[in-house]
Structures are given as structure tokens and as C-alpha cells.
Amino acid sequence: MTTDTPSHRLDRADLPLDPAAAADARRRRMILIATCTALMAVVASVSGLNVAQQQLAVDLGAGQSALLWAINGYTIALAALLLPIGAIGDRWGRKHVLVGGLVLFAVANVVASAAGTISLLIAARVLAGVGAAMIMPVTLSVITSSFPAEERGNAIGVWSGIAGAGGIFGLISSAFLVDNFTWPWVFMAPTVLALGALAMTVKFVPHSREHHTGRFDTLGSVLSALAVGGLVLAIHEGPEVGWTAPLTVLGAVVGIASAIWFVRWELRQERPLIDLRVFGNRAVAGSSVALMATFVIIMGLFLVVVQFLQAVLGFSALRAAVGLLPMAAMMMPMSTIAPRIAQRTGLRPILTAGISIVGLGLAMTAAFGSVDGGYLTVLPGLMIIGFGTGLAMTPGTTAITGSLPEDKQGVASALNDTVREFGGAIGIALVGSLLNAGYKSSVSEATVGLSPELAESVKDGIGSTFAVAPQLGADAPRVIEAARNAFVDGWALSMWASAVAALVAAVFVWVWIPKGTSALGSDALDLVPVEDDDEQLVLSLV
């Protein structure tokens, strides 16, 4: 019998890796860098314009409604077009769609930076949203179709970390530019990222598309865009102009009617845009709820945390954005570690644990956040929220993308992105509404004795209170202090409500996802045939 000596083992370890395998590994790394850079540009643009509202109002003479459209026009276009453009990428080529999206996105941002009127800025933002919809689903489908199964989870983990933390990057970069330059520079960071991603995409991302027979589901694509776009529009407009305002009602009616028609249409098609019976798989349905709940919480949290740090604690825009970095510092590494944990625990435990931890962090921010305690009262809660978010995002994303076969990865990726964007829209609207309701209820007593005009300005929000402070005279210190405390009351209400939502989502995931479900997803879904009668059409979804 012979044994390897230490020198023999050393010689074998020193043998060079297979050059072809090493080259493939390097190419996959560059694909990941290219797609994540493109994703960063898209996600950063969602939140980046928030910190430039005051400069835009002054330079372009824009009212609050126009500013809202400049900010939200991008998100509405992005969310509405994700599903159809994901399907187009599968059919006509993912690289072509990604390159076209990056070019359109960069051009739209350059136009936005040079806009001399608010109307041109809104148009440029909507056009950038179209480009973003061409980018976002394709980045994930390129990853899932380029990486082997054993590497796919880690790659999706990196993608999920960027998707979650990119909004913080957008806030930080935009705050720095607004504080030190002027608002047109806000559009430069996404443009630079897009151009860098474009160069890497052209060089490294492979051409991939799937063979499809039959016609493209045009009506399904239009209906999906109307359904998502209408509902997102209603959710965005409701808190600002009122839930009974004509535009809000129109968006809700169009969205709900289109969603119903979309479901009925898709279930009757031989080759639908997306086979909705996939939601009969409990892992997919549970993961979708988990991701939506996560982004309801995260996007709502971004909205209120930045206001808390600026208006209550007196942080500058840049310092407030940097205050979110500890959350990102927890979120991104956990997103990359989560796939390895999920392989051991399965899908149900890790999703439930992640969302429950997010709920714990929310409860901590609600219980301990205060005017006098400052930033340190919310820091532990923010870090725990980042930890839980990173733990839940990657397994949920993997379960959704693994639910559809390789020839439908663009649609699977778009479904994942739509769940995220729709959840974010709900979070901004609902958390913002709860914050405003708690603030108004708490600050009302402090407006006694003020003129009706000043009292209404104070009730409008803490920003309006600071704006009219010079007109308050001797009452200014008392009213500002009351406004700060009222904001914290509204903050606590919105955070407790978010914590309850996280708990409900965690219970649903635990009950709904079967025990022992793999976190890697499954291409082999048991999809039952759909009958023609309406009752069976509805039952087939559950």
C-alpha cells in the first residue's frame, strides 16, 4: 500500500487549474459585476430625487403635485412594464434588451439633468423608468441563466443585497451632490453607473434567449402594465391628493379591472405571459408574500427614517443618508450568507426567521426612538432590521426564480421585481399615511391660539412647521418642540403598525409554506389543467 507524502500532496495542490474553467469563472464574475452595476443604477434612481425637492421647487417653479410626478413617474413606469419586458427579453434576447435599456436609461438621465422645465423633467423621468424596466428583470434572468446551480444562490445573494441597499446608496450620493452642488448633478451618478454597466455588458454578458413558438401575449402584456401601473398610481397618489381624488380613483379602478381581466385571460391561454397557476405552489406564494412584506417595510422605513434624522434630530441631508449605512452594512453580507444557511434550514424557517427579526427591529425603533435620545435610540433597531432583511431576501428571490423553467427566467425575474416594487409603493403610501395621521393627532393641541393659516401649516407636517417658524414669533420654540414630539408619536405609530405587518407575514409564511420545502426552488411544478368554467378558473389559483 502506498500513501501520499506531504511533498506529493503539495505537488498536486500546485497544479494549475483548468484554464477553460478559470476563464469561465472570471467571465461569470464579470457578468455579476455588470448586472449588479446596472441594478445599482436603477435602484439608486428610485430614492435619489427625494433629497432635491426644495431645489427643484425653487429652480423650476414646481408645485408639490408636479414634484410628486417627477419622483413617482419613474417608479410607476418601472413597475408597470416589468412583466412584459421580462417576457420580451426571454423571447428576443436578454443582452439586446439590457443594452437597449442601459442606453435609454443613460440618455433619459442626461436629458433630466438639462431640463429647464418641470414638464421636461417629468417626461425624462418616465422615459428613465422605461429604461429601468428593460434593465431590472433582465439583470436577474442573466444571472440565473449564466450561473450553474451550485453557484446561483450566492450570485442571487449578491444581487439581492444590491437591490436592498441600492436605495441607501442613491440617498447618500444624491444628498452629497445636493449639499455641495446643484440638483442636475443628482442624475450623474446613475448615468455613470449605467455607462460602466453598458461597457461591461457589451464585453462579457452572453447572448441568451429561449425558443418560443406561437404569438407573443400582447393583450396579457398590456393588461399587466395597466393593472400594476394603475394600482401603483393609486397607492402613490392617495396619501398626497386624497383617496377619493379623481386621479386616485381612476388609477384604482383601472388597476383592479385590468388585474381581474388579466387573471381570466392568462388562465385561458395556451402560452400565457405568466402561468398564474405557479402561485398554486405554496413556496412561490409564500416567498412572494415575504418579499412584498419586506419591501413594504423597507421603503416605508426609508421614508420616515430620513425625515426623523433631518427634521427631528437636525441632520443634514448627507448625514441623514449616512445614518442608514449601518442597516446596509448588516443587510448586504447577510444576503450573501443566507443561501448557505437556507440550504441547511429549508425555505420556511429562514423566511420566517428573517421577517420575524425585521419585526423585532421595528418594535425596537418604535419603543425607543425619541427626540432626546437621538440617533443611538434607533441605531440598534435599524441594524436588526438590516440583518433580518438580508436573511429573508435571497431565499425568497431564489424560490421565485426557481419556480419557472429556464426559458421563462425573464418572466420569473420580472415577477420577483414586480413584487418588490409593488410592495415598496404600498410601504411608502401606507407608512407615510400612518405617520401623518399620528403627527396631526398629536400636534393639534399645540396649534391652539395660532391663526387658522398658521395652524393648518403646522398640521401639514414638520417640514411646513419649520417653514412658517419665523411667523410664529414667541410661540416658535414651543410649537417646534411640539412638532418634533408629534413626529416621534407618528413615527412610533407607523413602526408599530409595520411590526404587526411583519408578524402577520411571518405567521403566514410559517403556516403556508410546507415543512421541508427546499430554498432552491423547483422547476417541476405540479400545474393542474384549467377548465373553462369560472369557478375552476378561480380555484386553480389556490
Per-residue pLDDT of the chain (542 residues; tens, 9 = 90+): 444 444 444 444 444 557 777 888 888 999 999 999 999 999 888 777 877 776 787 788 776 567 777 877 888 888 888 888 877 877 778 899 999 999 999 999 999 999 989 899 999 999 999 999 999 888 888 888 888 878 887 888 888 788 777 777 888 888 888 888 888 999 988 999 999 999 999 999 888 766 555 678 889 889 988 988 888 788 777 766 778 889 889 999 999 999 999 999 988 887 777 777 777 778 888 888 888 888 888 878 877 887 788 778 888 878 888 888 899 889 888 888 888 888 888 888 999 999 999 999 999 998 888 877 788 989 999 999 999 998 988 888 887 777 666 666 656 666 777 787 778 777 877 787 788 778 888 888 888 778 888 888 788 777 778 777 888 888 888 888 888 888 888 888 889 999 999 999 999 999 988 887 776 554 434 443 344 443 343 333 33
CB-CB neighbours of 388 under 10 Å: 27
Domain segments of the chain as ranges:
24-208, 282-524
**Is 3.40.50.720 the CATH number for 282-524?**
no
Distance CA 153, CA 335 (A): 10
The DSSP-derived string for 93-162 is -HHHHHHHHHHHHHHHHHHHHT--SHHHHHHHHHHHHHHHHHHHHHHHHHHHHHS-HHHHHHHHHHHHHH
Fold match, 24-208 / 282-524: yes
Distance CA 66, CA 89 (A): 33
**Is 3.50.30.30 the CATH number for 24-208?**
no
Q: Write down the pTM of the prediction.
A: 0.73
Distance CA 463, CA 458 (A): 8
CA atoms within 13 A on the CB side of 134: 22
